[in-house]
Amino acid sequence: MTHAIRLLGIDPGLRRTGWGMIETSGNRLSFIASGTVTSDNRKSLAERLVELHDGLSCIVSQHDPMEAAVEHTFVNKDAGATLKLGQARGIALLVPSLAGLPVAEYAPNLVKKTVVGTGHAEKEQIRAMVKILMPKATFNSDDAADALAIAICHAQHRGSGSARLMAQGAA
């Protein structure tokens, strides 16, 4: 008998951090919850990071995941924006780690390829495939849909040696 494992997917962002909670039991995926943690862009960077930390901490406390997965940051031409995204991503890694959860990291192209079948899928394709894979899934933003996709990707790859190494911080 396979035990259900509760997984948290996180799509980090300074303005909006998406989160998605699923359960996996064997090949079966079940939607638990999803949403978006936001920060107030009128506040200082430090205050915004605290908002993300507190929001994600509430999600972890409320839904009690067993593992977490976070999307890797892509580098864009705006170095300042990339740095701010990296700081938000740090919070996304920190919160589940502080709760004692193993945290895996996945490249955006791997998430898309796993869920949609192509590494260059559009947002609409990701939303559509998340709904096909989990018909009961609801999400209030593209960020929440992406976070569910990250959780689905982790469900598919969590047994691999590389995922275990990433979760342990060795890769």
| Residues carrying an active site annotation | 11, 71, 143
Pairing of strands 16-25, 28-38: antiparallel
* Sheet bearing 28-38, strands edge to edge: 28-38, 16-25, 5-11, 67-71, 103-106
Residues 8 and 121: their CA atoms lie apart, in Å, by 22
- Spatial neighbors of 151 by CB under 8 A, at least 6 apart, are 7, 8, 9, 20, 21, 22, 69
Pairing of strands 28-38, 67-71: unpaired
Residues 27 and 126: their CA atoms lie apart, in Å, by 19
**3-state class percentages of the chain: helix first, strand second, coil last, to nearest 5:** 45, 20, 30
Amino acid, single-letter form, for residue 55: G
